[in-house]
Structure 1
Amino acid sequence: MADKMVSKHLMNLEKQFASTDPVLQKAVKVFQELDDLEFELGLLDNDETTARRCSWWPLISTLGGYSPAKSEFIDRFLDAHLHTTRHKFTVLQYTPQTNSATLPGTALDADHRLPFYKISREIEQARPGEGSKINSYLELVTVHSNKLKNKLIIDTPVLNPAAENVANTKLRQHVIAISDLVLVFTDLFDTDPEFNKDTIAGIVKHQDTNKFLYVIDHFELNLDENKIHEIIASWQRRLNDFGIFTGQFVVLSQNGNTSLIEQRINNLNSDRSYRVLDALETSIRSVDDVVMDEVESALVSWKERSNATTLIILSFVIMLILFAEIAVGILDLFFDPIIGPAIIVGLIAIMTPLHLLVSKVHAKFIIKQLHKRQKQLNLSEDLSGLFEKSLTFWRMLLPITKPVGDNKKNRKKLNGLMEQTKDLVQALNDQFSRSQHQDYQAHYDLQTEEEY
């Protein structure tokens, strides 16, 4: 079998991180090894890569309610006057051009470098008929702001009861899951509970990821430190009622300190790296825990159906023989030392290709079911590809239900890739610890110089 060519996407990623992030550069190599294994199993096309399942940009997202607090903050933060569509999920991307441009949702759906890649399939799954209307849900806006360099902001639409539907809920859940930092404006909790319950459930589900920063907007007021602490304590108690017990708080006021937001944004590269490594680990685990199990289950169903059909045909043949015995008496021929074995060989010669034909017919129905199952699970792996590779001559005849490649050799490969990923997480931990130590040392040296 020909070796898989290296995806252009992976080559570009490796060049991008060669001088800036050695951990992610090594992660690209692990993705390539996973690609090779999945290609060998028929799960991946030659020009595809598992690295496309996650965005490699650091991602900030915003969640808010009816008030303009969210959009006003974005304008202040980017020092720009944006005219985004409040009912769409808007991805804000840096441009060196001074003029802003708005691109349709198809630009996001088709570009594997950006979030929402192939999201139309998930929308179609959540709400049939809506996948083709991607432009009514998404847009990409380019902004000339240095604060957007090498990062993206996803501005989610306000919770509007008139426009809310299953697809919007699905997109919000997706945004929460893929973001490295989520700025949650507290006016979200003042909206109609009927329409914000799914969003709050998504926050509760991911609250232990430490990605949420709750923004309390009092920009029109001048608040002292004691008042700010009182406001935060009040909101902490209120969010506890929603089942939210973790996350940081910041109060925006005329004299407020936004250093916490700046600090979190400065740490986005590390947050992004952890997210990419988590996606890599999930992809490795899914081969054994999800893909193999799904294909094995399909093979069991296929084998049962094929054998049952063949047994029905064989039973019909036996009934014909019994009728022939009643009519002309031919059973004695089966006991003839020459004719008997010849009849049995002939029967096997007829039933074997017939069983193969029956198996291939049933395989077509199973393949259609696997395509549906793949969409339900939102898998990029081609389940039918591994299934078809498992339809060899002897596997059709013998009681084998394990997929091709489900063996100790490949499990050892997967375990090796998992160990490499864990080593990269450890290296990232060490890298982050060194960075914090250097920041502390620089701060200490500065204080020392000032004292002298």
Structure 2
Amino acid sequence: MTPKERYRKLKQHLSEENPVLLEVIRQYEQLDKTARQLGLLAEDQSYTEKISWWPLISVLGTFSAGKSTFINDYLGVKVQQSGNQAVDDKFTVICYGPNETPQTLPGLALDADPRFPFYNISEEVEKVEKGEGNRVNLYLQLKTVKSEAIKGEILIDSPGFDADAQRDSILRITDHIIEMSDLVLIFFDARHPEPGAMRDTLEHLVGTTVRHRDADKILYILNQIDTTAKEDNLEDVIGAWQRALSQQGLVSGNFFAIYNEEAMNPIDDPTVAERLKRKRDEDWRRIIERMEGVKVERAYRISKALEDFAKEILSRRLPDLTASMRRWGRRVFVADLLWLGLLAAGCAALFGIGLLPSTPAALGGAFAAAALLALGGHFWFRRLFASLEIRRWREKDPAIAAALAHNTRWFRPISRAWFKGWRRRARERLETVIDQSRAAIRALNDQFVSPSGRGAQEG
């Protein structure tokens, strides 16, 4: 699907769901255009591919942490198998479907459809494990379920997580869905009261997510707390997990403790049962409120992501590209001077020893030959120093490497390295995109808030 077709489909979808985001789409088009002119995006790429345009909730966690049971409860339909052993080793994307019976489709359905967050994920898998990109069905599946709870949303269930045994491809997919999601639920099992033994898993699931630029979208859930009833040590277990999470940098309040009422163990002490139920009901309510609020949050996140993308180019990539271009230009300029000096010295030496006659024809021929050598040397130096700069950025930031290749092509004048016009125009367009992103957020505010107490249209 070309970016143009993607814009058209997104506009069609958003015109019905939230017209405010139509202007955001137009600004994404401007952002893409500016990035392509800078060489940061290929013609078939778009920043709209880097976010999910449908509300996306991801459920991650350790083996047997109750993820599938939680999902079945939320949907009101048994769509995922549950049990004490690992029952599924695939990422499962769950969305609404019209059939009464849930249907399962292969991972290819996700990899080939740009409406889903795993569009072209086979390419990401291939980057980390050669040959695995063609085996995407081993990693992904799509399930459709007729449940009002999932209408207009996408839910992702992950396989049980064990960082010690996890393949690079699974880690890459995990990082991808954390980045794309509007809300991430990370489940832990209260039946394992020694969280220190899961250090590697905690380091990846928590240590990675707490440093995320939108860390508030990540909820950490201690499940099956009914197992603490026998020892009546709920606070001790919660405290042990909170200390383990804080060692990975989690200091926010996004920590919850719940259990499944149908699968719970009998609790003999009614006081303990009441205390656990109170805790469970309060945290369950807060989790479901966040899940039901993703549609509103998603609209804000799409607008904010537009600003973030533009700021990233404006504050980091454009200055880095500028500095690299100037370094390339200086090297070519110095090499040209040295090369011209060497040619001039060579010609003078040849004249000095009489190998070149001083007739006008001979002088003209010598000048033409020297000019050709100088021009050939110039383009050779251009290519050499450009390749060195590109190699320098290829691992660090492939987008800047691509932009360097774009801006140092043979037909572009070397003065581009110092010419401010193209950078000034790019900055102006990026600043306009940022302003429009903030305007979109204000327009969203008008839909949902009214400090004066009057209706949005009245105020």
Which of 220, 223, 230 matches 1:214?
220
Please list, as runs of the form range in 1=range in 2, the aligned pairs for 1:372-383 lying within 5 A after superposition.
Answer: 373=394, 377=397, 379=399, 383=403
Corresponding residue for 1:96? 98
Corresponding residue for 1:287? 313
Instruction: Report the alpha carbon displacement of residue 418 of structure 1 after superposing the two structures with TM.
Output: 0.6
In the aligned structure 1, how far is the partner of 2:344 from the partner of 2:454?
84
Mapped pair 1:28 → 2:25 = yes
- Which residue identity lines up with residue 249 of structure 1 in the other structure? F
Corresponding residue for 1:263? 289
Corresponding residue for 2:429? 413
Please list, as runs of the form range in 1=range in 2, the aligned pairs for 1:13-412 lying within 5 A after superposition.
Answer: 13-44=10-41, 48-78=45-75, 79-83=77-81, 86-127=88-129, 130-160=132-162, 163-187=165-189, 189=195, 192-206=198-212, 209-218=215-224, 235-237=241-243, 239-246=245-252, 247-254=254-261, 256-257=280-281, 258-300=284-326, 302-303=328-329, 306-307=332-333, 310=336, 313-314=339-340, 316-328=342-354, 346=368, 349-351=371-373, 353-355=375-377, 357-358=379-380, 361-362=383-384, 365=387, 369=391, 373=394, 377=397, 379=399, 383=403, 386-388=406-408, 391-392=410-411, 395-396=413-414, 398=415, 400-402=416-418, 406-412=422-428
- Which residue identity lines up with residue 200 of structure 2 in the other structure? E
Corresponding residue for 1:422? 438
- Which residue identity lines up with residue 259 of structure 1 in the other structure? R
Residues 125 and 298 of structure 1: CA distance in aligned 2, closer, same or farther (over 3 Å): farther
Q: Helix, strand or coil: the match of 1:115? A: coil
**Kept after mapping to 2: 8 A contact 1:88/1:136:** yes
Q: Greater shift after overlay, 42-51 or 32-41?
A: 42-51
Q: Helix, strand or coil: the match of 2:52? A: coil
Instruction: Report the alpha carbon displacement of residue 55 of structure 1 after superposing the two structures with TM.
Output: 1.0
**Kept after mapping to 2: 8 A contact 1:10/1:28:** yes
Q: Helix, strand or coil: the match of 2:211? A: helix
Corresponding residue for 2:265? none
**Kept after mapping to 2: 8 A contact 1:309/1:358:** no
Residues 329 and 180 of structure 1: CA distance in aligned 2, closer, same or farther (over 3 Å): closer
**Kept after mapping to 2: 8 A contact 1:10/1:49:** no
Instruction: Report the alpha carbon displacement of residue 380 of structure 1 after superposing the two structures with TM.
Output: 10
- Which residue identity lines up with residue 33 of structure 1 in the other structure? Q
- Which residue identity lines up with residue 293 of structure 2 in the other structure? N
Question: Can you list the C-alpha shifts for 1:167-202, whole angstroms capped at 9, x where unaligned?
Answer: 323332332232222222122947631343121212
Which of 4, 7, 14 matches 1:10?
7
In the aligned structure 2, how far is the partner of 1:433 from the partner of 1:380?
41
**Which structure 1 segments of 5+ residues have no match?**
440-452
Percent identity for Structure 1 against Structure 2: 26
**Which structure 2 segments of 5+ residues have no match?**
262-276
Aligned length: 422
**Kept after mapping to 2: 8 A contact 1:387/1:403:** no
In the aligned structure 1, how far is the partner of 2:400 from the partner of 2:68?
35
Instruction: Report the alpha carbon displacement of residue 269 of structure 1 after superposing the two structures with TM.
Output: 0.8
Q: Greater shift after overlay, 416-425 or 166-175?
A: 166-175
Residues 302 and 110 of structure 1: CA distance in aligned 2, closer, same or farther (over 3 Å): farther
Q: Helix, strand or coil: the match of 1:201? A: coil
Q: State the TM-score, normalized to the length of structure 2.
A: 0.75
Instruction: Report the alpha carbon displacement of residue 417 of structure 1 after superposing the two structures with TM.
Output: 1.3
- Which residue identity lines up with residue 354 of structure 1 in the other structure? G
Instruction: Report the alpha carbon displacement of residue 355 of structure 1 after superposing the two structures with TM.
Output: 4.0
Q: State the TM-score, normalized to the length of structure 1.
A: 0.76
Instruction: Report the alpha carbon displacement of residue 413 of structure 1 after superposing the two structures with TM.
Output: 1.9
In the aligned structure 2, how far is the partner of 1:438 from the partner of 1:92?
39
In the aligned structure 2, how far is the partner of 1:378 from the partner of 1:102?
36
In the aligned structure 2, how far is the partner of 1:364 from the partner of 1:107?
41
Instruction: Report the alpha carbon displacement of residue 58 of structure 1 after superposing the two structures with TM.
Output: 0.8
Question: Can you list the C-alpha shifts for 1:32-56, whole angstroms capped at 9, x where unaligned?
Answer: 2223333444555556532222111
Q: Greater shift after overlay, 39-48 or 170-179?
A: 39-48
In the aligned structure 1, how far is the partner of 2:380 from the partner of 2:101?
63
Q: Greater shift after overlay, 199-208 or 358-367?
A: 358-367
**Kept after mapping to 2: 8 A contact 1:65/1:190:** no
**Kept after mapping to 1: 8 A contact 2:90/2:138:** yes
In the aligned structure 2, how far is the partner of 1:403 from the partner of 1:139?
51
Residues 312 and 98 of structure 1: CA distance in aligned 2, closer, same or farther (over 3 Å): farther
Q: Greater shift after overlay, 37-46 or 420-429?
A: 37-46
- Which residue identity lines up with residue 172 of structure 2 in the other structure? K
In the aligned structure 1, how far is the partner of 2:162 from the partner of 2:91?
13
In the aligned structure 2, how far is the partner of 1:158 from the partner of 1:220?
21
Instruction: Report the alpha carbon displacement of residue 267 of structure 1 after superposing the two structures with TM.
Output: 0.6
Instruction: Report the alpha carbon displacement of residue 104 of structure 1 after superposing the two structures with TM.
Output: 3.6
In the aligned structure 1, how far is the partner of 2:109 from the partner of 2:404?
29
Residues 161 and 50 of structure 1: CA distance in aligned 2, closer, same or farther (over 3 Å): closer
